[in-house]
Structure 1
Amino acid sequence: MDRQIVICMDGTGNEIRRKASNVLKIYRHLKKDDAQIVHYVPGVGTRDGQTLIGDTWQRLKSLAGLGFGLGLEDDVLDAYRFLSRCYRSAEAKRRDWQLDQDRDARLRRGIGVAEAGDAPPVFLDDRIYLVGFSRGAYAARVLAGFIHNFGLLPPDRLHMAAQVFRAYRRLTEDPQVARTRPPAELYAEMRLYGRVLDPDVSVSIRALGLFDTVSSMIRFHPVWRNLARYRSLIGFGRHAGVSYNTSVRIVRHAMSVDERRSMFRSEHWVPSDFYPTRFRNSRLKRLQYCEQRWFPGYHADIGGAVREQDSGIGKLTALWMLDGIAADEAAAEAEDNRLRADAGDPALPRRPLGLALKRGARARYFEGATDSTDVFGKPYAGPDGLAPLHPSLTPGWWIFEIIPKSLKRREWKPGRPGLVWYFPLGEPRLVPHDHIVDPTVIVRRDAMPLYRPPNISGRDTLPE
């Protein structure tokens, strides 16, 4: 059976509760059957303690997760282990089919019945879809980066996954050193693990569905080293393959125009070509379908993690995500079959496009097109670019805005002066000129005199 596996990785502090994020809504309303296997990972900063004694410790862990993403790598490994146990390649399916045929042939010979001689069907790899919000979106990108740089272990070798992941993390532990080392030396430890553990290195990611990716991953280096190299008391870093990954076919990224918190800077994606494996073969080269779009609203608005009656922006981004993945898959299928025809190969079997929702879920829960209400008696909201916004820079977050930050981490250039450090003080995000700004941003600006995002000033025509 051709299957798709969907991993839903929720955002900072998000879990199963009243203010469900888009990730949780999508997880809840996806079909879950033999053709579509779905897994949900709660966000970093959630409290998972089961005892009263551990409550204080869980609160501290929750705060660390909210502020700095601590615990994110555990979530990545949880999703990795789930994939390892569920994913099946075309080769594995073909091998199992042949074993069944051989067993059937032996049985037929034993009872004197002619062999069936069935023609082998066309086998396809399972497709992997990763959907994430906030640091859950970053976790999805880390998972994709880990699979790209190492591969997918079989279930009987999963006990080594954490050890291999530590080697993967060390690739970017010191970015300055990493940039100066030749690739063969930099990846030597990873390749040694690969030779011993023999992971599947042909696993690709069909789609990344990202709602406002942020990271803020701390690197625990000595303070003197951070000051010398990064001019910062705290060192921040990224994992390998989180901004650029040739093993991902489709990338869709919804971003917040209005978010101001310096600990929640958006992590942009760098488009590239696509290859089914990390080994670049020009014969296998394909387009990577990538769209990054800015929407009105703050971080929680983009991720849909607000009250249902106020979630019009979130419904807008969710439908854009679902429709976009399906449209990009149609384009990718057409490209694949065109290239196969040029090579004299038959077209691939048709497969469902996009993520399969339960019957009626789109109209009821995402479009708000019915009279249905949620468990609290509130009607389901539909997409609305003029829906209420939810400012995120609350007094608690202002603590991080008055802590000096290194100029190396500054995005907003026309801002306050500083030599080595600067005070963020709620500076807006930088919207690159080649990024797409959703028309609802302009509609909202024109309809509401007090809505004037400084990072899109002067933008009346929008690149598409």
Structure 2
Amino acid sequence: MGIRSSIRSWMHRHFGRPPAKVTPPRRGQTTHVIIIDGTMSSLARGHETHAGLTYKLLQEVGSDVSVYYEPGIQWSNWRNAYDVFSGKGINRQIRRAYGWLASRYRQGDKIYLIGFSRGAYAVRSLAGVIDLVGLLRTENATERNIRTIYRHYECTPDSAAARAFKHAQCHDTVRIEMVGVWDTVKSLGLNMPIFWRLTAPRHAFHNHALGDSVANGFHALARDETRVAYAPVMWESRPDWPGEQLVQMWFRGAHADVGGQLGDYPEARPLGNIPFVWLLGKAFEVGLPLPEGWASRFPQDAAAPSVGTFRGLGRWLMTRKQRRVGRDPSESIHPSVAAVPEKGWTEWMRPFARKTHPS
């Protein structure tokens, strides 16, 4: 026996064998939830939108659920008023959310994308990024690669270079279990011709369609919103879409009611809870874990007052038109709408409204 072996033998007798190299067990399936809130929305207690309430509910679920929350673009002073009105900053929101997901996702994990208002548009665009140019594998999710893949999404999603990059750097397939949104609005560029010409090219590339990577799409819509600046961005049904469910449901109330952006008018919460509970109920049906008895915390009342469209900054948006219902086969009107008589809650809007598209 050589000297080295003798020393090793003596050390083992007196100090025990060195610990064996142990390969850590592979983690189980993780559910990744990305939530992007509407403009000027945050997690401020008592002022949460439906997006914020969803985030707080998911904090009560087990460690196998990974949640990302992005607040809406905030109004801090008049210097950033243009950002608030124009939707500037949405590309940064999408890139941050994409980077978070790419750095955590493993094959077999589940993905849920949830948003309100412009945040709804952002998560739909995020799904579009994944569908068109792929989701980077974790080991490739560098800042440089994220910039590269977003550049492909912006400029050349169908190019040979984009396809080669996807093949080399991204997962072969990614399934998004659900895109669930409350009243998607675009507002990426002001609704005034001179400003629209300046801002529209910056956002023209966004893909908000329901792509093949998405298994389920659920969209809660505000039937009584009349501001043209808040025109809803609808999904259009595709006969060849391979997904499972596409449901666009209309609810009583304005944009703020359906998204839970109630400000200092908590009396509208029971009305807003109807689309909130509906959408999370659909998410639960397709596998999103939620705390036991969660729905009972949110009392619903179809006859509760509405925030309306003349509170806050919305009062200054005087170009109005009633929304058109029933253009796509995926649309339905929620049963709660029939529980409230037509006369009264829509009468005050009629001076600003045009005839509704037939259902």
TM-score (norm. length: structure 1)? 0.62
Do the aligned partners of 1:272 and 1:288 also contact (CA within 8 Å) in 2?
no
Aligned to 1:437: 333
Separation (CA, whole Å) in 1 of partners of 2:300 and 2:280: 13
Separation (CA, whole Å) in 1 of partners of 2:49 and 2:260: 5
Aligned to 1:60: 79
Deviations 1:206-236 (A, max 9, x none): 00111000112239xxx9xx89xxx967636
* 1:450 positional shift: 4.5
Do the aligned partners of 1:146 and 1:168 also contact (CA within 8 Å) in 2?
yes
In structure 1, give the amino acid aligned to 2:154. Answer: R
1:161 to 133, 146, 159: 146
Structure 1 counterpart SS, 2:225: coil
Structure 2 counterpart SS, 1:205: coil
Separation (CA, whole Å) in 2 of partners of 1:456 and 1:267: 19
* 1:192 positional shift: 4.4
Deviations 1:18-62 (A, max 9, x none): 32101111110123433211121111x225xxxxxxx65xx533x
Separation (CA, whole Å) in 1 of partners of 2:238 and 2:232: 19
Aligned to 2:162: 190
Aligned to 2:48: 20
Aligned to 1:210: 181
Does 1:130 find its partner at 2:130?
Answer: no
* 1:272 positional shift: 3.5
Aligned to 2:302: 385
Separation (CA, whole Å) in 1 of partners of 2:273 and 2:345: 23
Percent identical: 26
Does 1:4 find its partner at 2:31?
Answer: yes
Separation (CA, whole Å) in 2 of partners of 1:255 and 1:40: 22
Do the aligned partners of 1:274 and 1:288 also contact (CA within 8 Å) in 2?
no
Aligned to 1:42: 71
Do the aligned partners of 2:324 and 2:356 also contact (CA within 8 Å) in 1?
no
- Say if 1:241 and 1:396 are closer, same or farther in 2 by CA, change over 3 A: closer
Do the aligned partners of 2:181 and 2:220 also contact (CA within 8 Å) in 1?
yes
Aligned to 2:216: 250
Separation (CA, whole Å) in 2 of partners of 1:385 and 1:451: 14
- Say if 1:41 and 1:309 are closer, same or farther in 2 by CA, change over 3 A: same
Deviations 1:139-197 (A, max 9, x none): 110110001111111344321212321331235xxxxxxxxxxx8xx4344224335x5
Aligned to 1:200: 171
* 1:137 positional shift: 0.6
In structure 2, give the amino acid aligned to 1:243. Answer: A
Deviations 1:69-120 (A, max 9, x none): 111111111111111122111xxxxxxxxxxxxxxxxxxxxxxxxxxxxxxx
In structure 1, give the amino acid aligned to 2:303. Answer: L
Query: Where do 5+ consecutive residues of structure 1 fail to align?
Result: 48-54, 90-124, 172-182, 276-285, 330-352, 367-381, 402-424
Aligned to 2:7: none
- Say if 1:397 and 1:325 are closer, same or farther in 2 by CA, change over 3 A: closer
CA RMSD of aligned residues (A): 3.0
* 1:445 positional shift: 3.1
Structure 2 counterpart SS, 1:242: coil
Query: Where do 5+ consecutive residues of structure 2 fail to align?
Result: 1-27
In structure 1, give the amino acid aligned to 2:121. Answer: Y
- Say if 1:317 and 1:395 are closer, same or farther in 2 by CA, change over 3 A: closer
- Say if 1:16 and 1:189 are closer, same or farther in 2 by CA, change over 3 A: same
Deviations 1:267-323 (A, max 9, x none): 101234688xxxxxxxxxx44301001111111100112144421122101111122
2:244 to 262, 269, 288: 288
Matches within 5 A, 1:16-415: 16-17=43-44, 18-30=46-58, 31-43=60-72, 45-46=73-74, 56=77, 59-61=78-80, 63-89=81-107, 125-157=108-140, 158-159=142-143, 160-170=145-155, 186-195=158-167, 197-218=168-189, 235=200, 237-272=203-238, 286-306=242-262, 307-327=265-285, 329=286, 353=287, 355-364=288-297, 366=298, 382-393=299-310, 396-397=313-314, 401=318
Do the aligned partners of 2:214 and 2:243 also contact (CA within 8 Å) in 1?
no
